[in-house]
Amino acid sequence: HSSVDPSIPSALSNNDFIVFFTNKIGFIGLPNMKYYYVFLFFVFIISVLGNTVVMTVICLDQNLRTPKYVAVFNLAFVDLLGSTALVPKVIDIFLFNHNSITYNDCMAFFFFCYSFLSMQSLNLVALSYDRLMAIMFPLHYHVKVTHKIMFSLILFFWLLVFISNIMAIVLLTRLSFCNSVVINSYFCDYGLIHRLACNDNFPSYVLGHILPVLILWIPLVIILFSYICIGHALGKVAASEERVKAFKTCTAHISLVAIYYVPILISFTMYANIHQNARIINLSLTSVVPPMLNPIIYVLQTQEIKCSIKKLIQIKSIPLLSSLPLFS
């Protein structure tokens, strides 16, 4: 390695490479940022509780063990793990001023954060497939959406995410860092890491442009195309009540898509025009808010889950009532 900033440790090998995060660099001129991280902590708690409830209800209710709820369970599972991988580490870094991380830990941090955030996007594709088949082929739905098909689809998505992120890490390990190891972000951001390299980072640069297309934009195009097909199919339905009833089955999924993609679209389209503080806050909220809202939306907008929760509460309350003297 060539000359190194004296404030940076001289050892920059893959085993003891240090990546720094600083409040001064992360957020410029914003006082009382500790309250923002406390807010992230409460968002994390709500996300963990909500997704755990959804997963538990699906496991306990036999009626919810359908292909559709395989995808819903996987979405809750991914949201739970994604929040757990990101939020505690971010709070530890910024709120408790542990502003350094080893190279290997940074790679692990990157892998898990990117994997779970990517799976959120791809899970929405699986759910859009379910809605597309349910509305366009209602009589053949149980043939076109089976447990085998849904498990195969989700397994393919997991393999795609793992392989692409492992490739990204392999390319990062080829890089040398001569001048700075300070990442101006709230987590181990792939794009910011490879831009710090002082040797050839072109493969990482190319992969950094391919991954968003593969993980974000192609899934979004597929989802939008599925709803164009759904709209075309519903347009052929004569009765307006039937159209409304069919469309209501899509409202939960549409809400999830909007919550996930709208902030990302804003971040990408206004990336060069918004202040660094606003960009970091927007990206961090994009990462933590959807996992919190997803279970709330599914509980409030999905009739099957609401009925299942009511039924489970009644079943649990019967032994409690029978144990009281008035009912014994």
Q: Cβ contacts of residue 63 below 8 Å, gap of 6+? A: 304, 308
Tokens describing residue 219? 């899934």
Alpha-carbon span 222 to 253, nearest angstrom:
14
- Highest-confidence segment of 6-10, 91-95, 184-188, 252-256: 252-256
Name the residue among 82, 59, 81, 83 with its Cα closest to residue 69.
Answer: 59
Residue-range domains of the chain with CATH? 18-318 (1.20.1070.10)
Q: What is the pLDDT of residues 279-318, one digit of tens each?
A: 677 778 888 889 999 998 887 778 788 888 888 787 765 5
Q: What is the pLDDT of residue 7?
A: 41
Q: What is the pLDDT of residue 74?
A: 96
Q: Is the pLDDT of residue 27 over 60?
A: no
Alpha-carbon span 180 to 3, nearest angstrom:
10
DSSP state for residue 12 in the 8-state scheme? -
Tokens describing residue 231? 């709209």
Q: Is the pLDDT of residue 84 over 80?
A: yes
More confident residue, 162 or 180: 162
Q: Which helix (H) or strand (E) holds 100?
A: strand 100-102
Q: What is the pLDDT of residues 113-142, one digit of tens each?
A: 999 999 999 999 999 999 999 999 999 999
Is the C-alpha dihedral spanning 153, 56, 113, 186 positive or negative?
A: positive
Q: What is the pLDDT of residue 272?
A: 55
Alpha-carbon span 229 to 158, nearest angstrom:
26
Tokens describing residue 301? 């907008």
- Residue 92: band (very low, low, confident or very high) from pLDDT cuts 50, 70, 90: confident
